[in-house]
């Protein structure tokens, strides 16, 4: 009996460790469409977020609470693998790319006091719909894939992993202006289309036709304008329909757009009409980034062999930006808080695969480089070499 009792006591001691040895946990949220038309977006990004968290937790977690005297007790990132930092857990919700569902899922995140920051929602309309919930709860939101300069509003703290819509509008107009083309804009009312109209006015460029793809005669308007360039700002499906209709009508001009044309839905709907379309984006395909081999291999290990799409890298880097902000907050204050992480984000800089990420006073990564792509044979996007971040050649 004495030996058995000793063994039981030893097991209890080993399992409990000493006070303070159990790693504390903190949560970040991810809201993306995992079902419906845009489900490919959700699965593109969740594997990237999981990969970043796996890397951080394997290194010992984030943040070492200060010891007496105010200094960190161990070096950053878990004391060299000692496991004494905070473990970071993921809470993921599906918003189905639906604004009402996005607002509901944001409220769920807000109700969990352990959630100190969030990543999402990957669509302009869902991000906008969720802002009030984040603002009321004081949760900072890193939005890797939205362009609308009107975000944030209502007191929400939104950190954009890229420039606002104006930078892409400028790049598109510079690309066109060098060639003296006649431009038609087909827009469903998105922020990029609005920014193009504003930028054209500022640059004294004329866009003879601004048509809505929902208009019954948008195609006739574009063809009658003799435009040899069409810039399309619409959802991937709508952009595919626009490109297909133009080519079917015999139009042979240049078809341009923004990041929506990187989506597989654009090619799937447009078919052969997608070929030779050009688009500009701050979010390149990972395979086109130098030094990304390790990321590609690690991502596919997490995804079960599925290759990363164009939103994988911004989601991965957004997660690491949050991890580094968490590190700053914990080291400075001993425990992470929503307000502390928000304050730390403004001071956080990250050198990652996308470049040196640092936020300006408007919470944008305004210096993010832009990448030009051409849709090649079979609908495969091909990086156009020799482009500057401003979009020129």
Helical (H) or strand (E) element with 181: none
Ordered strands of the 115-120 beta sheet: 87-94, 25-32, 115-120, 141-143, 158-160
CB atoms within 10 A of CB 115: 19
Structural domain boundaries in the chain: 23-163+289-358, 165-281+371-383
**Predicted pLDDT at 21:** 52
**Predicted pLDDT at 332:** 92
For 233-244, how does the pLDDT look when each residue is reduced to its tens digit (9 = 90+)? 999 999 999 999
Q: Which CATH number fits domain 165-281+371-383: 3.30.70.100, 3.30.470.20, 3.40.50.2300, 3.30.420.40?
A: 3.40.50.2300
**Predicted pLDDT at 355:** 95
Q: Which residues, given as ranges, of the chain have pLDDT below 50? A: 1-20, 68-83, 388-393
**What pTM did the predictor assign?**
0.88
Return the CATH number of the domain spanning residue range 23-163+289-358. Answer: 3.40.50.2300
**Predicted pLDDT at 154:** 63
DSSP-derived secondary structure letter, 359? -
SS3 of 273-298: HHCCCEEEECCCCHHHCCCCHHHHHH
State the Cα angle at 359 between 87 and 130, rounded to 5°: 70
d(CA 128, CA 145): 12
Please give the torsion angle defined by the CA atoms of residues 311, 316, 319 and 320, in that order, rounded to the nearest 10 degrees: -140
For 43-102, how does the pLDDT look when each residue is reduced to its tens digit (9 = 90+)? 999 999 999 999 999 999 998 755 544 444 333 333 333 446 899 999 999 999 999 999
Helical (H) or strand (E) element with 32: strand 25-32
Please tell me whether the peptide bond between 121 and the residue prior to it is cis, using omega within 30 degrees of 0. yes
C-beta of residue 269 within 8 angstroms of C-beta of residue 236: yes
Domains 23-163+289-358 and 165-281+371-383 equal at CATH topology level: yes
269: alpha, beta or left, given left = phi > 0 and alpha = psi -120 to 50? alpha
- C-alpha closest to that of 354 among 48, 30, 21: 48
What number of H helices and E strands is found in the chain?
Answer: 13, 14
């Amino acid at each position: 009996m004495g030996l058995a009792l000793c063994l039981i006591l030893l097991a209890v001691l080993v399992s409990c460790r000493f006070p303070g040895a159990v790693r504390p946990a903190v949560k970040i949220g991810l809201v993306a469409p995992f079902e419906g038309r845009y489900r490919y977006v959700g699965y593109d990004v969740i594997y990237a977020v999981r990969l970043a968290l796996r890397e951080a937790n394997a290194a010992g977690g984030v943040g070492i609470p200060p010891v007496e005297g105010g200094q960190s007790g161990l070096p950053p990132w878990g004391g060299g693998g000692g496991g004494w930092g905070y473990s970071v857990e993921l809470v993921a919700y599906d918003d189905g790319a639906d604004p009402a569902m996005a607002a509901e899922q944001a409220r769920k995140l807000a109700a969990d006091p352990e959630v100190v920051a969030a990543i999402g929602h990957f669509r302009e309309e869902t991000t906008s719909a969720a802002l009030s919930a984040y603002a009321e709860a004081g949760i900072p939101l890193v939005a890797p894939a939205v362009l609308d300069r009107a975000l944030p509003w209502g007191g929400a703290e939104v950190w954009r992993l890229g420039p606002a819509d104006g930078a892409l509008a400028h790049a598109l107009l510079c690309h066109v202006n060098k060639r003296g083309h006649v431009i038609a804009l087909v827009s469903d009312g998105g922020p990029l289309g609005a920014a193009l109209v504003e930028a054209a006015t500022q640059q004294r460029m004329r866009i003879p036709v601004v048509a809505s793809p929902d208009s019954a005669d948008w195609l006739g308007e574009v063809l009658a304008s003799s435009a040899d360039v069409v810039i399309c700002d619409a959802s991937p499906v709508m952009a595919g329909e626009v490109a297909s209709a133009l080519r079917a009508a015999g139009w042979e001009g240049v078809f341009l757009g923004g990041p929506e044309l990187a989506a597989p839905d654009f090619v799937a709907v447009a078919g052969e009409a997608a070929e030779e379309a050009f688009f500009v984006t701050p979010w390149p395909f990972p395979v086109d980034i130098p030094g990304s081999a390790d990321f590609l291999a690690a991502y596919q290990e997490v995804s079960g062999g599925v290759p990363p799409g164009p939103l994988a890298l911004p989601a991965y880097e957004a997660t690491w930006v949050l991890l580094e902000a968490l590190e700053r907050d914990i080291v400075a204050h001993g425990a992470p808080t929503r307000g502390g992480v928000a304050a730390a984000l403004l001071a956080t800089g990250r050198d990652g695969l996308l470049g040196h990420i640092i936020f300006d006073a408007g919470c944008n990564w305004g210096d993010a480089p832009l990448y030009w792509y051409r849709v090649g044979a079979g609908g495969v996007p091909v990086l156009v070499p020799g482009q500057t971040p401003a979009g020129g050649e």
